[in-house]
Structure 1
């Protein structure tokens, strides 16, 4: 038997009449009658007692109704789920991010928007070291990732450029720099730079000041960088989005006068992404940036 047999059977059971059931199904009454006879032959028992104007269920037919309804419901549910999965409405996404994506608020905004549009797609969201994140996306351990660009990406990984922002200087509260009315790149030529994961800002500021920077430790995430600044280990060039979001004792934030150094967040993904839910997330982000 096929699923259509169960549908035909249920139509007759509900209508108690072959003609009305056939009209509901959009088939001819003789065709419907033959399909029911085929079912009865396959089961080896009668399902209906046929009378002149109506039919009634036999004990076997009454027993089959509940199971037939469950079978049809499950079949339709499977069909809908397959269609929804194909449209990217259900599924799972592994998402990695660097801390500055959270400080900027961009990650929250885009994840919330996607979750509202696709509430049945589950997301696993985890912070990851930026140096490792592109490789983890390439390997399939993450589906997508938020990084701070510019950054060299592995073969097969692409980036969607998102919001750009400038840099500020994080310095110890007791630093002589804090007493200056303005801090320019040239003022930093003797300073030790604590390095965030993305060092492009440090290098750009040093280039604007006309010197090779004195590079200090590179402890990892932004909180670790700012912790070393608070301990007097140096200054740090950090994204301006951390101001007002990460406050540590003994750390001041100051603009860097005249600096045009900037970076931007990017959404990275595999070039030929086949998972519909992941592809839908990527396209939604692209749409927000257009």
Structure 2
């Protein structure tokens, strides 16, 4: 007995006629009669009382009618549930993000768009340092990361896509001598103590590019793990920070921002995930985030 037998049985029970049921099922009446006969043989008794003009359910047939409908309804529910999961309409997506993903509007736009399209899917978003995102994704603790590019991303197990790029600006204390300048150059930064996120990690690309432009290694005064702590150190006069332009949206007492003429130091935003992914909701989010407009 399989689902096909039950569908055939219910069609005959509803039509009370083999010919009409066969027409509805798009099969010939003898084939339908054979399938019902096989079902009756398997169950051990008749399911219909056959006459020359119609068929009626036996007591056993009436019992099977209830159970067969219940089984087919459950099978249809299971099919739809799995299909919704495969399409990404249900399930859970765990996202880690760095500060510029929020301040640029890219992350919030993606979250809103996904929620509008897949309201039954669960979204969990939390701030995670750039260096920790890749490890968390590979360990199964996160599904997707929004992070600046850094050395830990370029491994075979990770899928990486650039989804944003911005100029850098200089964040410095309002009473710093350079604050009086309307626009800064890299040459003006020579000898200035700098505040980095991480000299040889999250800001490794910035460190390398800045070294090339200065002709020597920059003076790293402090390393910090978050955007707010970087800006707090700048406000305290502990150094100056080269931050992505979206951070200008953060108003910190004592901090001013100045444009920097250095396109080579541009900051980017990467969308990262596992290269082999079997979660339909995660795949749906990645597709949507990749296709949405990329901020510049």
Q: Which category of TM-score, normalised to the shorter sequence, fits these structures?
A: 0.7 to 0.9
**1:21 counterpart residue number:** 21
Q: Aligned partners of 2:251 and 2:68: how far apart in 1?
A: 63
The answer on 1:251 being equivalent to 2:252 is no
The answer on 1:235 being equivalent to 2:236 is no
Do the aligned partners of 1:205 and 1:259 also contact (CA within 8 Å) in 2?
Answer: no
**2:286 counterpart residue number:** 282
Residue 45 of structure 1 deviates from its aligned partner by 4.5
**2:168 counterpart residue number:** 167
Residue 180 of structure 1 deviates from its aligned partner by 3.0
Do the aligned partners of 2:186 and 2:262 also contact (CA within 8 Å) in 1?
Answer: yes
Please provide the CA RMSD for this pair.
2.7
**1:218 counterpart residue number:** 223
Q: Aligned partners of 2:29 and 2:6: how far apart in 1?
A: 16
Give structure 1 regions of 4+ aligned residues with deviation exceeding 6 angstroms: none
**2:34 counterpart residue number:** 34
The answer on 1:158 being equivalent to 2:159 is yes
**1:195 counterpart residue number:** 196
Do the aligned partners of 2:173 and 2:240 also contact (CA within 8 Å) in 1?
Answer: yes
Q: Counterpart of 2:122 in 1: which secondary structure?
A: strand
Residue 289 of structure 1 deviates from its aligned partner by 6.8
Unaligned segments of structure 2, at least 5 residues: none
Residue 182 of structure 1 deviates from its aligned partner by 3.5
Residue 204 of structure 1 deviates from its aligned partner by 4.0
The answer on 1:269 being equivalent to 2:273 is yes
Q: Aligned partners of 2:247 and 2:100: how far apart in 1?
A: 7
Unaligned segments of structure 1, at least 5 residues: none
Q: Aligned partners of 1:70 and 1:39: how far apart in 2?
A: 17
**2:109 counterpart residue number:** 109
Number of residue pairs matched?
A: 288
> Comparing 5-14 with 155-164, which one deviates more in the overlay?
155-164
**1:55 counterpart residue number:** 55
Do the aligned partners of 1:185 and 1:206 also contact (CA within 8 Å) in 2?
Answer: no
Residue 166 of structure 1 deviates from its aligned partner by 0.7
TM-score in terms of structure 2 length: 0.84
Do the aligned partners of 1:196 and 1:236 also contact (CA within 8 Å) in 2?
Answer: no
Q: Aligned partners of 1:289 and 1:151: how far apart in 2?
A: 26
Do the aligned partners of 2:182 and 2:259 also contact (CA within 8 Å) in 1?
Answer: no
Residue 251 of structure 1 deviates from its aligned partner by 1.5
The answer on 1:126 being equivalent to 2:137 is no
Q: Deviations over 1:125-169 (max 9, x none)?
A: 222111121222233332221111254423422311121101111
